[in-house]
Amino acid sequence: MKQYGKVAVLMGGSSSEREVSLMSGAGVLAALQSKGVDAHRFDPSEKPLSALKEEGFDCVFNILHGPFGEDGTVQGALEALAVPYTGCGVMASAIAMDKWRTKLLWKGAGLPIPAFELLDESSDFDAIEKALGLPIFVKPSTEGSSIGVTKVKRPGELRAAFEEARKYDDVVIAEQFIGGGEYTCAVIGETAYPTIKIEPATEYYDYQAKYFRDDTVYRCPSGLAPEVEARARELALKAFKVLGCRGWSRVDFLMDDAGEIYLLEANTSPGMTSHSLVPMAARAEGIAYEDLCLKVLDTVHVG
């Protein structure tokens, strides 16, 4: 494992997803150390990134989640420091963190997405409710882990959902509900891994369902017909490439009752906790968590 040198597992940070990042980071750190990698914990909320050079780190396994960690900010800083790092570069990270701009790129490339509207103070909320139909999901554009998300089920509730989402971001999206099932597809390098069907016991796949509840059902294999599975993986790879992603990411998508696929969002720094989906997809391919961490570490890139 000497080819990796001294590895910093970048975790924690100061975003609203700090807790999840620390859980992911702890798992990655233990896995790399178990494989003999000279890996160490590094929390940028505790010391400056410049310490990476001062302490002699050769590369970074970035497992920060949320703003700063996966929005292009830390990626740009690492490139300025000439420290190789895992995952997507500055542009792809910044775009994928922004759900609105992600949708614009995918739509421009002819990829399928749910209908959506941007919300602001002057929006005609009643007209948007009628146009998109109920229920509607309302989301802050640049938050992850379902933070600030509301499912609007009754007429007249859209404005309140907008006000809640606006606490987290000035850009707020109202999105058409697609009810045939929620899925995800991990992409590592040039390979799309088996899709996973997500069946939360809660109203939708919220923060608690993602990270803490034990009653969320994950089906991997997802149960899709072989031709649909192949189409979903191909679409995930296209979505990954349109955004300019590299290394690894996770592409989430929805399916309607007719079997049509709609891209939802891309996560360029996926979770690596005990509940996380990329490790689950890897296991379906016979890849242990520790070996998955090495696969991701192999994607290190320097700008």
pLDDT digits (tens, 9 = 90+) for 150-196: 999 999 999 999 999 999 999 999 999 999 999 999 999 999 999 99
| CB-CB contact of 53 with 81 (8 Å) | yes
pLDDT at 301: 81
Q: What is the pLDDT of residue 303?
A: 57
Q: Identify which has the larger pLDDT, 91 or 17.
A: 91
Closest CA to 10 of 54, 70, 56, 81: 70
Which member of 17, 70, 182, 229 is catalytic?
17
What's the Cα-to-Cα distance from 98 to each of 52, 197, 200, rounded to whole Å?
A: 28, 24, 24
Does 14 participate in catalysis according to the annotation? no
234 annotated to a ligand binding site: no
Q: Is 17 a catalytic residue?
A: yes
Specify which residues 140 forms β-bridges with: 172
Is the predicted pLDDT of residue 203 greater than 80, yes or no? no
pLDDT for 35 equals 97
Q: Give mean pLDDT, residues 203-222.
A: 77
User: Annotated catalytic residue: which of 145, 146, 222, 269?
Assistant: 145
- Domains observed in the chain: 6-87 (3.40.50.20), 96-111+180-298 (3.30.470.20), 116-176 (3.30.1490.20)
Tokens standing for 111? 């990829």
Is 265 annotated as a binding-site member?
yes
276 has catalytic annotation:
yes
Question: Cα(24)–Cα(175) distance, rounded to whole angstroms?
Answer: 29
Residue 256 annotated as lining a ligand binding site: no
* Active-site residue, from 15, 141, 269, 276: 276
Percent share of the chain, pLDDT over 70: 95
pTM attached to this predicted model: 0.92
Write the pLDDT tens digit of every residue in 237-248.
Answer: 999 999 999 999
